[in-house]
Structure 1
């Protein structure tokens, strides 16, 4: 069957169309995305402004039209931290429902972590043993750990690259004092969760998903996207630590000229790198592997798990 996953994230609204069947690998058929940056559109009261809501409604309408054109039998719509944390979330959801007919399922941070972990487990398989997963989105950082498809521990922290850039790094290039303050804040937030994971022992394999980790791995010399999904891509803490001070003195325009860094994500890359560096350091990760699958694939896999058998 052809399914669409409509992901209203902190950076983009992304419709991923996939051909999916129980017991088979979901195959991407079409991708439709629009940048919205909801995490950066919150006002002083934490609400999404009228202009942001108008754009959201329009973009969702366009995505639904695309899903229909591509023959989707079902669209699975969900929203993550940008709407979850907005002070006017209920009003935004009502407006979307009234004008588009879409009832967005707002995932909790723990649900995000668990579904992303499911995608990573299915990608790497049982032979990967105990997995530690890291995922940096626009609004939050997800961490999950476990041996099975359901993680033993899963947390979500408000350490997304977009959120932190908007709140902590106003300069371009950023003020060194702001970078230092953000680094201290990120490490304090992550350190509070380390003990919850340490009691389960050392992971056998550490993996990371999300655009931020993919871009950082590319900077460190990993193969580009043109080489396909199945090429192994890794990121070492040593390489990342060498890149952080370089990114800290660059403007967003200069970062956008780096290999694998898109113009739309360049401004957020430093904040994402600070979170990635802190997570790898505090969790004792020397090297991790990039997982091509993430939250959207996890949503589809969970949906397939609940289809009735033929």
Structure 2
């Protein structure tokens, strides 16, 4: 069957269309993405602005049209932290449903961690042993560990690259160079939030493999020498804590405009690279690992796999 997965995140609205069959590897058929930066439309009062709602409606309407054109038999649509945390989120989602017919489901941070973990487990298989999965999004950082397909511990922390850029690195958000003082403040903040999470993860048992996934980690890995996306999904990729530390030093001396010219860095996310690098370094330090493997599958694939499992069990 042909499935569409619509991911409304803090940065983008991303439609992934796959051909999925029982017992088979989901095959990507179409990919469509628009930059929305919904989180930037949420004010200090927690309300998503009218402009943000209008942009969301337009993006979902367009994604629904593309999904129909691609022949999707089912559209699995969900939202993450930006709408989840907006005080008027439920009303906005109702208006989106009425205007587009798309029923956006709200995922909790723990949902995100569990579904991402499922995707990582399926990618690396049972032979990987106990997995620890890390995922930096625009609004949050998800961490999960386990020996099965459902993790023993699944956590979500408000340490997303977009959120941290706006809070700690306003100069980078404006296209400039982040100050060393601001980077240090962000590092200290991330370390404080990660410390209790790391203790919970450690109590579950030492991981046999630590895996990082999603756009922020893939970008950081590319900047530290990992193979480009064009080399294929099955090319092994990893990133060391040492190289990540060197990258933090590099991004502290270069502005977002120059970063956007580097291979592997998208223009719309260049300003978030510094914050993402600092949070990633703090995460690796907190869980005390020398390197992470990079997984090409993440939340969207987890949604697909969970849906296929439900169909097979019906």
Q: Same fold (TM over 0.5)?
A: yes
Cα shift at 1:86: 1.1
Report how many residues are paired: 310
Cα shift at 1:309: 5.9
The 5-angstrom pairing of residues 51-70 of structure 1 reads 51-70=51-70
For 2:196 and 2:41, locate their aligned partners in 1 and report how far apart those are by CA, in whole Å: 28
Q: TM-score, normalised by structure 2?
A: 0.97
SS in 2 for 1:114: helix
Cα shift at 1:144: 0.3
Unaligned runs of 5+ in 2: none
Alignment correspondent of 2:112:
112
For 1:250 and 1:91, locate their aligned partners in 2 and report how far apart those are by CA, in whole Å: 41
Would you say 1:182 and 2:155 are equivalent positions? no
SS in 2 for 1:307: helix
Alignment correspondent of 1:201:
205
For 1:179 and 1:295, locate their aligned partners in 2 and report how far apart those are by CA, in whole Å: 28
Q: TM-score, normalised by structure 1?
A: 0.98
Alignment correspondent of 1:86:
86
SS in 2 for 1:261: coil
Alignment correspondent of 2:5:
5
Cα shift at 1:121: 0.3
Cα shift at 1:70: 0.4
* Structure 1 residues 43-69: Cα deviation after superposition (integer angstroms, max 9, x where no partner): 121211101100100110000000000
For 2:142 and 2:53, locate their aligned partners in 1 and report how far apart those are by CA, in whole Å: 26
Cα shift at 1:167: 1.6
Unaligned runs of 5+ in 1: none
Would you say 1:248 and 2:252 are equivalent positions? yes
Task: Tell me if the contact between 2:22 and 2:312 (Cα under 8 Å) persists in the aligned partners.
Answer: no
SS in 2 for 1:78: strand
SS in 2 for 1:281: helix
How much is the aligned-residue C-alpha RMSD, in angstroms? 1.0
Q: Structure 1 runs of 4+ off > 6 angstroms?
A: none
For 1:142 and 1:63, locate their aligned partners in 2 and report how far apart those are by CA, in whole Å: 26
Pick aligned residue for 1:235 from 235, 239, 253: 239
Would you say 1:299 and 2:295 are equivalent positions? no
For 2:218 and 2:166, locate their aligned partners in 1 and report how far apart those are by CA, in whole Å: 21
